[in-house]
Amino acid sequence: MSTLPKLSIRRGDLKPGECLCDYCIAKCCRYFALPIETPTTEEDFDIVRWYLLHEKSALFTEDDIWYLVVFTECQHLQADNRCGIYETRPKICREYSTDNCEYDNDAVYERYFETPEQVQEYAEALLPRKKSATIRSNPPPLLPVLG
């Protein structure tokens, strides 16, 4: 698939009858994101960490909704960044429009996680410590009593 950017044009500069897709790199066809339950427990965060142990995945939040994103191209994306099954594409694709597409969107998310370690660190900062947990290190062993 072609990943080279096409000529860039601003939405407002399109001529009548011109389609924004002619200038796009098909961001919308190179990943999918699914809402997931908001993690609130150690077990929930462990599951979220598991997601990120898989290649080409990430997590983000938008309006406090958590999403799992999987970076993978649609199998019908053509070299010209157009849909190879346009007439029979799924409903979700038919309902997607260029009015609010990501063409010129450089998204910044509330939270964005790319590694399991980032999730673990976030969970440790967010979740209350167990009663037995302490930030102090273990005490050293006692010295022998000499007699």
Domains of the chain: which residue ranges? Answer: 11-126
- Letter string b/e over residues 75-95, b meaning 16 or more CB atoms within 10 A of that residue's CB: eebeeebebeeeeeeeeeeee
Q: What is the pLDDT along the chain (147 residues), one digit of tens a residue?
A: 445 455 577 777 878 877 777 788 888 899 999 999 999 999 999 999 999 999 999 999 999 999 999 999 999 999 999 999 999 999 999 998 777 777 777 777 899 999 999 999 999 999 987 766 666 678 888 888 887
Q: What is the pTM for the complete model shown?
A: 0.74
